[in-house]
Structure 1
Amino acid sequence: MVITGMAVLTALGSDLKSFWHSLCDGRSGIGPIDLFDTSDYKTRFGGQIKDFDSTPIIDARDQKRLDRFAKFAVVAAAHAVDDSGIDFGAENPSRAGVIIGTGVGGLWEIEDAHKKLARGPDRLSPIMIPRMMANSAPGELSKRYGIQGPTWAVSTACASASNAIGDAFRAIQRGDVDIMLTGGSEAAITPLSLGGFSAMRALSQRNDTPTEASRPFSRDRDGFVLSEGAGIVILEEYEHARARDAKIYAEILGFGSTSDAYHTVKPDPEGRGAANAMRTALFDAGVTPGHIDYVNAHGTSTPPGDLAETVALKSVYKERATDGLSISSTKSQLGHLLGASGGVETVVTVLSLYYGVLPPTINLNDPDPECNLDYVPHTAREIPARYAMSNSFGFGGHNATMVLCALDGIPRRYAQQAA
């Protein structure tokens, strides 16, 4: 199936073209957090979306009903639908679905409700439960667009959005639906979340140089940068997209999902689960490691995570890993959007194929000698890539990998099926 519409909300920008140009120019969206007072925190910066305004899309009544993460999903979905040109009102509602990933859901509402609870249970809002639910985002989108097909939320930590897109891919592949609205949304820059990640020593503490804090695969990386936002895509069955003369960005060829079965938060240092996800996606796509031109790495800038992913890449790609394979981590510019990261990075990977440009890994001034692959350092690279892979790995040992293909004719999977 093919991708016919996309949108992002990130600290680096929300207009697709300006976002892409900023990414390829090597700019960073990381800066001081001003959503709340961070003066007592060890980390005081992140990938915050500044001046977010959802009022053009969400009316006053719904503003009160939705948590920040759900608003991100609604706004990004509206832009993706516009980008695709699809009219859900003209579609069979049972032949469309919504699957949205989120790591923590309505965390702002949970924290606000806890403060109210301290003054007594009668102070809680009657809409507290709907606002905090992880499935409030797909439920709201289903209602807004009259979508009556498969609709659910996915929560697999930082692999959530990629698993959501994988589920959507499978739904179309099975013939259940023709269209899926999918991706991920997260609004986890909250007092509790920032404090919790700081307590587990997962975050960078480079408060004096926030734009240089996210440095995947660097020798002196000291943790990830917490970010927020959304990445949404429209998936369509190829003939359905062709029948309405839709713009097609790329094709999803394969998907793989595995578990480390190793540790609650630490990745398997041998990268076995991650490697299995990559191999599964390649097998599902019907391609070999030699076909892949570009990997959008999970690359969070944590010491164990980046090394484990490098080990996994070497295991899967073998000599190809050091001979012609380009890899980059756009978290170096965007920070880590947790459950939304796979949605945004799917968009980034598609744009890389669409425009023939690979975004860089910035801040890679002193590469870790054990992370010795080609991470496209500092500067974007023009390559007419045809096949690409996107990795997402999450706490709990969740691994999700997608293989995508540039479209320059009949989609590869469709051609195989027709043959």
Structure 2
Amino acid sequence: MPTSAELHQRRSAAVARGVSSMIPSYVSSAGGGTMTDVDGREWIDFAAGIAVTSVGNSAPAVVSAVQEQVAKFTHTCFMIAPYEQYVAVCEELAVLTPGSFEKRSALFNSGAEAVENAVKIARHATGRQAVVVFDHAYHGRTNLTMALTSKVMPYKQGFGPFAGEIYRVPMSYPFRDGLSGTEAAALAIGLVEKQVGAANLAAVLIEPIQGEGGFVVPAPGFLAELAAWTRSTGAVFIADEIQTGFCRTGSWFACTDEGVEPDLITTAKGIAGGLPLAGVTGRAEIMDAVHPGGLGGTYGGNPVACAAALATIGMMRELDLAAAARRIESVARPRLEALAAKHPMIGEVRGRGAMLALELVKPGESGPFGPASDPVAAAAVAKAAHEAGLLLLTCGTWGNVIRLLPPLIISDDELDRGLTLLEQAFNQEETPS
């Protein structure tokens, strides 16, 4: 029996059924743009741990920094006995995130924790309660962040009741709504003014490019108009850059491409080369509005994770991984566009940098939200790719989007091989179900 099959038997007896995996293989090693399973099979990695291992799964600089820190101390809890590594990460965040104003940061463990704390901070700073989020949004799996998340299955089903004072408005989704950024912003703002009331608004929370929701890129101008209106109300504009941040979209942060400087920005995923770390960074007067002791957590800003983050940021600077993301797009997008021209089931190619997607539809069919989605075809293409040795993910409100998130250090050969496997997977599914 293959080792992966043996591990799967052990998993079934020990791991909760609610924790699922994309492929049946178990990883033994990974690096660059590939992963190897316990049976010796190699996979081209177009997932990067959901945009986490941007510098690779075993980058020497990160490994060395972690080993050095582990030998010194693994934990003290920054709230009890502070250490330089936490401060250094916050200093880097102040420099790297959009905006030239004075900033402060607080560190946590996961993206969901960062989002939850950003909402806490905004509510405390404004003295208001209402939070506006968007259709197709994904912000996490805690009780509050489930309320902020749009998609019910699998994230929210059966887990309520959820936190209150959360209001959802339409996202700019050019492929489906056909609106300009100005039109989409006016629609969202109008609904907030009528259904929530600007005077009650603590924060507007948005992903500059939506992740789990389908890599939805809003129309130009949408984010800027939304941010300007939010500030005019005295509310806080929060950018959730957990998936888009740290060079993924071809800039250090996706907001930069739209000329937007968020009041608060949440980070995680790519920040620490695979170790759990997250942050909230923002205007000093907003961040410092919270009383001492109001923010924190036992493991938040763990020294080992901070050491990994500092090494990761150093690699991103040294290797110019923002430019690497743009190079990945320059190679991948023409091939994806050619694939779309060949296969009518591909309704749109979209994304930015190394965050690219294909939305699959049923050609010639319409639904209540525009082109009829085809999640069956998306699942079939993903399965064919997995069987051929390409690791990629699906996403989207309707499960009909194939997303590409390769490590930013992927080699030209690995990228080419992965794209070829993707093309072959589509060739197997020329007639969607």
- TM-score, structure 1 normalization: 0.25
